Amino acid sequence: MSSRKINFWSRYRSEGDIGFISLPGGEEAIIDASDADKCALHTWYCLRISRSSTVYVQAPIRSSKQKWSTLLLHHLILGRPPKGKEVDHVNGNGLDNRKVNLRFCSRSQNMANQPSRMSKTVGFKGVRCRGKRSRWMACIWHKGRYKYLGTFGNKDEAALAYDAANIKLFGSFGRVNFPLPERAGQNAPNSC
Protein backbone atom coordinates (compact mmCIF):
# COMPACT_ATOMS: atom_id res chain seq x y z
CA MET A 1 0.00 0.00 0.00
CA SER A 2 1.41 3.40 -0.97
CA SER A 3 2.01 6.15 1.57
CA ARG A 4 -0.69 8.21 -0.15
CA LYS A 5 -3.28 5.50 0.55
CA ILE A 6 -2.08 5.12 4.15
CA ASN A 7 -2.40 8.89 4.53
CA PHE A 8 -5.93 8.81 3.13
CA TRP A 9 -7.11 5.91 5.25
CA SER A 10 -5.72 7.53 8.40
CA ARG A 11 -7.81 10.63 7.57
CA TYR A 12 -10.95 8.69 6.62
CA ARG A 13 -13.79 7.38 8.77
CA SER A 14 -17.21 6.02 7.97
CA GLU A 15 -20.57 5.89 9.65
CA GLY A 16 -22.78 3.44 7.81
CA ASP A 17 -23.08 4.47 4.15
CA ILE A 18 -21.47 7.89 4.71
CA GLY A 19 -17.72 8.55 4.68
CA PHE A 20 -15.81 11.51 6.09
CA ILE A 21 -12.39 12.75 4.93
CA SER A 22 -10.48 14.97 7.40
CA LEU A 23 -8.94 17.89 5.54
CA PRO A 24 -6.12 20.25 6.52
CA GLY A 25 -7.54 23.11 8.56
CA GLY A 26 -10.04 20.97 10.44
CA GLU A 27 -12.73 20.72 7.73
CA GLU A 28 -14.38 17.41 6.80
CA ALA A 29 -15.53 16.34 3.35
CA ILE A 30 -18.58 14.08 3.19
CA ILE A 31 -18.78 11.30 0.61
CA ASP A 32 -20.67 8.07 0.03
CA ALA A 33 -18.69 5.24 1.62
CA SER A 34 -18.86 3.42 -1.73
CA ASP A 35 -16.66 6.18 -3.26
CA ALA A 36 -13.84 5.86 -0.69
CA ASP A 37 -11.59 3.66 -2.86
CA LYS A 38 -11.46 6.13 -5.77
CA CYS A 39 -11.00 9.05 -3.34
CA ALA A 40 -8.07 7.22 -1.75
CA LEU A 41 -5.99 7.77 -4.88
CA HIS A 42 -5.64 11.50 -4.14
CA THR A 43 -4.59 13.89 -1.38
CA TRP A 44 -7.45 16.31 -0.69
CA TYR A 45 -7.37 19.97 0.34
CA CYS A 46 -9.87 22.80 0.80
CA LEU A 47 -10.46 25.35 -1.92
CA ARG A 48 -11.99 28.50 -0.44
CA ILE A 49 -13.88 30.80 -2.78
CA SER A 50 -12.97 34.35 -1.75
CA ARG A 51 -16.23 36.03 -2.85
CA SER A 52 -18.36 33.73 -0.73
CA SER A 53 -18.08 31.39 2.21
CA THR A 54 -18.15 28.35 -0.09
CA VAL A 55 -15.49 25.68 0.41
CA TYR A 56 -14.84 22.96 -2.17
CA VAL A 57 -12.54 19.95 -1.99
CA GLN A 58 -9.70 19.60 -4.50
CA ALA A 59 -6.63 17.49 -5.18
CA PRO A 60 -3.57 18.25 -7.29
CA ILE A 61 -3.11 15.83 -10.17
CA ARG A 62 -0.32 15.50 -12.68
CA SER A 63 -1.73 15.97 -16.16
CA SER A 64 1.64 15.40 -17.89
CA LYS A 65 5.28 15.01 -16.87
CA GLN A 66 5.70 18.62 -15.81
CA LYS A 67 2.16 20.00 -15.65
CA TRP A 68 -0.18 19.88 -12.70
CA SER A 69 -3.88 20.58 -12.62
CA THR A 70 -6.65 20.40 -10.06
CA LEU A 71 -9.30 17.73 -9.61
CA LEU A 72 -12.45 18.79 -7.77
CA LEU A 73 -13.94 16.07 -5.58
CA HIS A 74 -17.45 16.61 -6.93
CA HIS A 75 -16.11 16.02 -10.48
CA LEU A 76 -14.49 12.75 -9.37
CA ILE A 77 -17.75 11.60 -7.76
CA LEU A 78 -20.29 12.71 -10.40
CA GLY A 79 -18.03 12.96 -13.45
CA ARG A 80 -17.10 16.01 -15.48
CA PRO A 81 -20.18 18.02 -16.41
CA PRO A 82 -21.32 18.07 -20.05
CA LYS A 83 -20.55 21.21 -22.06
CA GLY A 84 -22.58 24.17 -20.77
CA LYS A 85 -23.35 22.47 -17.46
CA GLU A 86 -21.95 22.72 -13.93
CA VAL A 87 -22.14 20.59 -10.80
CA ASP A 88 -24.50 21.96 -8.16
CA HIS A 89 -24.41 21.04 -4.47
CA VAL A 90 -28.13 20.80 -3.65
CA ASN A 91 -27.74 21.83 0.00
CA GLY A 92 -25.16 24.53 -0.81
CA ASN A 93 -22.41 22.79 1.17
CA GLY A 94 -19.35 22.33 -1.06
CA LEU A 95 -17.93 19.84 1.42
CA ASP A 96 -20.93 17.50 1.03
CA ASN A 97 -20.05 15.38 -2.00
CA ARG A 98 -22.53 12.54 -1.61
CA LYS A 99 -24.20 11.60 -4.91
CA VAL A 100 -27.61 12.53 -3.48
CA ASN A 101 -26.33 16.10 -2.99
CA LEU A 102 -24.82 16.54 -6.48
CA ARG A 103 -26.58 17.32 -9.77
CA PHE A 104 -25.76 18.77 -13.17
CA CYS A 105 -27.31 22.16 -13.92
CA SER A 106 -26.97 25.27 -16.03
CA ARG A 107 -25.10 28.32 -14.74
CA SER A 108 -28.40 30.10 -14.20
CA GLN A 109 -29.78 27.21 -12.13
CA ASN A 110 -26.58 27.06 -10.08
CA MET A 111 -26.76 30.78 -9.34
CA ALA A 112 -30.40 30.42 -8.27
CA ASN A 113 -29.24 27.93 -5.64
CA GLN A 114 -26.64 30.32 -4.19
CA PRO A 115 -26.99 31.33 -0.58
CA SER A 116 -28.34 34.78 0.00
CA ARG A 117 -26.03 37.76 -0.10
CA MET A 118 -28.67 39.70 1.77
CA SER A 119 -28.01 42.67 4.00
CA LYS A 120 -28.14 41.95 7.71
CA THR A 121 -30.86 44.55 8.24
CA VAL A 122 -33.35 43.00 5.80
CA GLY A 123 -32.70 39.31 6.41
CA PHE A 124 -34.21 38.03 3.14
CA LYS A 125 -32.91 37.20 -0.30
CA GLY A 126 -34.38 39.39 -3.05
CA VAL A 127 -35.80 42.02 -0.67
CA ARG A 128 -34.70 45.58 0.01
CA CYS A 129 -36.07 48.56 1.87
CA ARG A 130 -37.50 51.21 -0.41
CA GLY A 131 -37.55 54.73 0.88
CA LYS A 132 -38.25 56.13 4.30
CA ARG A 133 -41.86 54.95 4.44
CA SER A 134 -40.92 51.36 5.30
CA ARG A 135 -42.03 49.91 1.98
CA TRP A 136 -40.35 46.71 0.84
CA MET A 137 -39.38 45.94 -2.74
CA ALA A 138 -38.89 42.41 -4.11
CA CYS A 139 -36.85 41.67 -7.23
CA ILE A 140 -35.13 38.65 -8.76
CA TRP A 141 -32.20 38.22 -11.15
CA HIS A 142 -33.15 36.21 -14.25
CA LYS A 143 -31.48 35.95 -17.66
CA GLY A 144 -29.09 38.82 -16.98
CA ARG A 145 -31.69 41.28 -15.70
CA TYR A 146 -33.44 42.22 -12.49
CA LYS A 147 -37.14 41.54 -12.63
CA TYR A 148 -39.20 43.84 -10.40
CA LEU A 149 -41.76 41.84 -8.41
CA GLY A 150 -43.53 44.63 -6.58
CA THR A 151 -43.54 46.82 -3.48
CA PHE A 152 -45.05 45.48 -0.27
CA GLY A 153 -46.13 46.74 3.14
CA ASN A 154 -43.81 44.41 5.03
CA LYS A 155 -40.69 42.43 4.29
CA ASP A 156 -42.33 39.02 4.86
CA GLU A 157 -44.77 39.69 1.98
CA ALA A 158 -41.88 40.81 -0.23
CA ALA A 159 -39.89 37.68 0.69
CA LEU A 160 -42.88 35.46 -0.14
CA ALA A 161 -43.24 37.20 -3.54
CA TYR A 162 -39.54 36.53 -4.18
CA ASP A 163 -39.99 32.88 -3.17
CA ALA A 164 -42.96 32.43 -5.53
CA ALA A 165 -41.03 33.92 -8.46
CA ASN A 166 -37.93 31.88 -7.59
CA ILE A 167 -39.88 28.61 -7.60
CA LYS A 168 -41.66 29.57 -10.85
CA LEU A 169 -38.40 30.49 -12.63
CA PHE A 170 -35.97 27.95 -11.17
CA GLY A 171 -38.07 25.10 -9.73
CA SER A 172 -36.11 22.81 -7.43
CA PHE A 173 -32.91 24.78 -8.09
CA GLY A 174 -34.24 27.96 -6.47
CA ARG A 175 -33.23 28.77 -2.90
CA VAL A 176 -36.12 30.39 -1.05
CA ASN A 177 -36.46 32.48 2.09
CA PHE A 178 -39.19 30.31 3.62
CA PRO A 179 -38.63 26.62 2.85
CA LEU A 180 -41.71 25.79 4.96
CA PRO A 181 -44.84 28.00 4.72
CA GLU A 182 -45.37 27.96 8.49
CA ARG A 183 -42.05 29.84 9.00
CA ALA A 184 -43.43 33.08 7.51
CA GLY A 185 -43.70 35.93 9.96
CA GLN A 186 -41.11 34.67 12.45
CA ASN A 187 -38.47 37.25 11.57
CA ALA A 188 -37.32 40.62 12.83
CA PRO A 189 -39.60 43.70 12.94
CA ASN A 190 -40.64 45.32 9.68
CA SER A 191 -38.75 48.62 9.99
CA CYS A 192 -35.93 49.65 7.64
What is the reported pLDDT for 191?
42
Pairing verdict, β 145-152 and 135-142? antiparallel
List domains and CATH numbers for the chain.
3-105 (3.90.75), 117-183 (3.30.730.10)
Distance CA 114, CA 81 (A): 18
What is the reported pLDDT for 145?
86
pLDDT digits (tens, 9 = 90+) for 8-23: 667 888 899 999 999 9
Query: Is the entire prediction scored with pTM above 0.75?
Result: no
Q: Is 47 left (phi over 0), alpha (psi -120 to 50) or beta?
A: beta
What is the reported pLDDT for 35?
94
Confidence label for 174 from pLDDT (cuts 50, 70 and 90): confident
Phi, psi dihedral angles at 165 (to 5 degrees): -65, -40
Distance CA 179, CA 90 (A): 14
pLDDT digits (tens, 9 = 90+) for 101-150: 999 998 888 877 776 665 556 778 888 887 767 789 998 888 778 899 99
